[in-house]
Amino acid sequence: MAGEPSAPGGGIAPDMPDHFQVEDASFDHVRRDVMIPMRDGAKLHTVIIIPKGAHGAPILLTRTPYNADHMVAFASSGNMGPMLEGYDNMPDVIADGGYIRVIQDVRGKYGSEGRYVMNRPLRGPLNGSAVDHATDTWDTIEWLVHNLPESNGKVGIIGVSYDGYTAITALFHPHPALKVSVPMNPMVDGWMGDDWFHNGAFREEMLPYIYEQDGTPKNTATWWASQYDSYDVFLRAGSAGAAGRVRGMDQIGFFRQILAHPAYDDWWQQQALDRLLPREGLTVPTLLVHSLWDQEDNYGAIALYHALEKDPAAASRLWLAVGPWNHGGEIREASTLGPVKLRSDTGLYFRRNILEPFLAHYLKDGSVPLPARVTAFRTGDNIWENADALPPRDCASGCTTLHLEPGQGLGAQAPGADAGVARYVSDPDHPVPYVARPIVSKGRPGSNWRDWLATDQRNMAARPDVLSFTSPVLTAPFVVRGQPHMHLTAATTGTDGDFVVKLIDVYPDEVADQPEMGGYQLMISADILRGRYRESFAQPHPIPANVAQAYDMVLPLANHTFLPGHRIMIQIQSSWFPLYDRNPQTYVENIFLAPKEAYRPATVSVDLARSWLEVHGAPVKGH
């Protein structure tokens, strides 16, 4: 029998070499891993993928907290395309387009040095250091253009979600070599309507993300729960603050900041990019990308667009693409939205007809025609439309009013002053779920988080604590564009409360080519308002019990045709759990710290004569 392999001086020789060299001669690309130095001395881990034989190639950069190594290893392949098939990578754009792909771990995450800060504020009142995402991007680009001889010296930055946020921060004091930015589904204002809050209501389902993303550099701490259904997890925990604290989240600086800043105070306002970038001025051509059914960041791109378009100089460098996607859905095959058939691959259309020519024009060849200023997909009709601009956010002109009617009807004519009220009891111990139970949180096996905004709302309509107002069957198309504006007048027996408003397309009772869609209730636009912020987002006020109050809500962007045979519905409720934390309905200084006894049922009375929805659209026509 052969003995163990010997080693000089005795012992056993190791199988594993000190430094394994990948045999990559057959690959269609060259990979370089570098640590790029920043101005403060920290080095950021950067993966560079260069097409073999590249010469004069433009650079596409993404800066991410989501592990650069993982984002260039979606397939074990020697070919660039399959390797990049995954989050934030579009092989048909990047690999087929001959771009040099650069992905960098932001400071403090995965392979990069430094300390991580969630959505690190730009230098200023909230960041007294010498560095931020803008300086890190500048220093990175400066290194790339001097150390990649294969490039043409032109850089574009692109990314989805958090990576869309870093694509926006690159626009502050941008490097001269930065020729284009494409923020896709970006985080822009975390309090007004992106990841953390919507109009003051906290997105409790984001606690696992904060726990894992901000707990350790490499996400090695995993959110734990002893129940399968997240509805049970958060209901038993009590307040959102209690749910975090029992898991040790007081150790996480961002969690402590959320607890300390429940209102839209200076801490939030001074880092809202739609407030900051217009002051900076837009000097780099930018394509904002928005998803109509974005379950995570359906506020930021549109808010930033409206903030920038007011300035002619900024508007000249601004483009917008709007599609029928969930969060990041544009980077993959997108011929369906949940069960809704779109009749074409809308993701492919976006990449081929909007993104590719936009990048090519600024990074390769200025003779390539640019897309329209606004390219938007209209669901229902399932068509692409070009426009010079979005409809305005307000309804000063060109709008139709949909009035709530007695008997839970919906129509174009205002009811009389004696229309009365519609009532429901909101009980925080039995909140309305945001999707049919069991609810499996984002990232867990069996989760339907990605498509929940397109799920059937009939389960909610069947609850006694959800009001549904429905139009007659439409005999002509009804097109809704822009952001619907809800004017709600209601009283509550509590001293605080939330209001959820949903604009819904009710399908015919029978759908010939898709029977399972018979009677389907598809949300077109929906949002929540925390009642204490009805007068001021920065200064909360208790609700006077049993006194009618006005609650005005601007809903997310819609671009949809309600087809003949369909009906229009508006749903109103007071909880959307556990997507948003429960309002105790008894006023407390900080809902994150609300004690159990503060959670009490309340009767809500909606004043029908003084409640309506304004939309950019055509009048309702009934039988």
Q: What is the CATH number of the domain that holds 368?
A: 3.40.50.1820
Q: Any idea which of 234-248, 391-405, 413-427 has the lowest mean pLDDT? A: 391-405
Q: Are 406 and 416 in contact (CB under 8 A)?
A: no
Alpha carbons within 13 angstroms on the beta-carbon side of residue 218 total 8
Q: Which residue range forms the structural domain that includes residue 288?
A: 29-186+272-334+343-378
Structural domains in the chain (count): 2
**Mean per-residue pLDDT, 196-204:** 98
d(CA 127, CA 46): 24
In a domain, 231, yes or no: no
pLDDT tier at 393, thresholds 50, 70, 90: confident
Q: What is the dihedral of CA 221, 227, 233, 237, to 10 degrees?
A: -90
**Mean per-residue pLDDT, 367-393:** 96
CB atoms < 10 A from the CB of 541, how many? 15
In a domain, 360, yes or no: yes
In a domain, 390, yes or no: no
Residues 45 and 164 in one domain: yes
Tens of pLDDT, residue by residue over 253-278, are: 999 999 999 999 999 999 999 999 99
CB atoms < 10 A from the CB of 10, how many? 6
Residues 363 and 417 in one domain: no
In a domain, 387, yes or no: no
Tens of pLDDT, residue by residue over 32-66, are: 999 999 999 999 999 999 999 999 999 999 999 99
- HEC string of 427-458 equals CCCCCCECCCCCCCCCCCCCCCHHHHHHCCCH
Q: Are 504 and 457 in contact (CB under 8 A)?
A: yes
Q: Any idea which of 74-83, 178-187, 371-380 has the lowest mean pLDDT? A: 74-83
DSSP 203-215: -GGGHHHHHHHHH
In a domain, 583, yes or no: yes
In a domain, 508, yes or no: yes
Average pLDDT value for the chain: 95
Residues 175 and 54 in one domain: yes
Residues 371 and 405 in one domain: no
In a domain, 4, yes or no: no
In three-state secondary structure terms, 27 is coil
In three-state secondary structure terms, 347 is helix
Residues 373 and 279 in one domain: yes
Tens of pLDDT, residue by residue over 338-367, are: 999 999 999 999 999 999 999 999 999 999
Residues 302 and 181 in one domain: yes
Residues 330 and 413 in one domain: no
**Mean per-residue pLDDT, 482-510:** 98
**Mean per-residue pLDDT, 66-95:** 90
In a domain, 305, yes or no: yes
**Mean per-residue pLDDT, 448-462:** 94
d(CA 412, CA 318): 36
- Where do we find the tokens 């007809």? 353
Tokens for 570, please give them: 């508006």
Residues 358 and 488 in one domain: no
Tens of pLDDT, residue by residue over 570-579, are: 999 999 999 9
pLDDT for res 76: 83
Residues 426 and 484 in one domain: yes
Tell me, what CATH number does 484's domain have?
2.60.120.260
Residues 419 and 465 in one domain: yes
Q: Any idea which of 38-47, 598-607, 610-619 has the lowest mean pLDDT? A: 610-619
pTM reported for the whole predicted model: 0.96
Residues 472 and 611 in one domain: yes
Between vectors from CA 479 to CA 345 and to CA 616, what angle results, nearest 5°? 120
Residues 417 and 452 in one domain: yes
d(CA 421, CA 244): 39
* Through-space distance between the first and last CA atoms of the chain, rounded to whole angstroms: 92
pLDDT for res 485: 97
pLDDT tier at 1, thresholds 50, 70, 90: very low
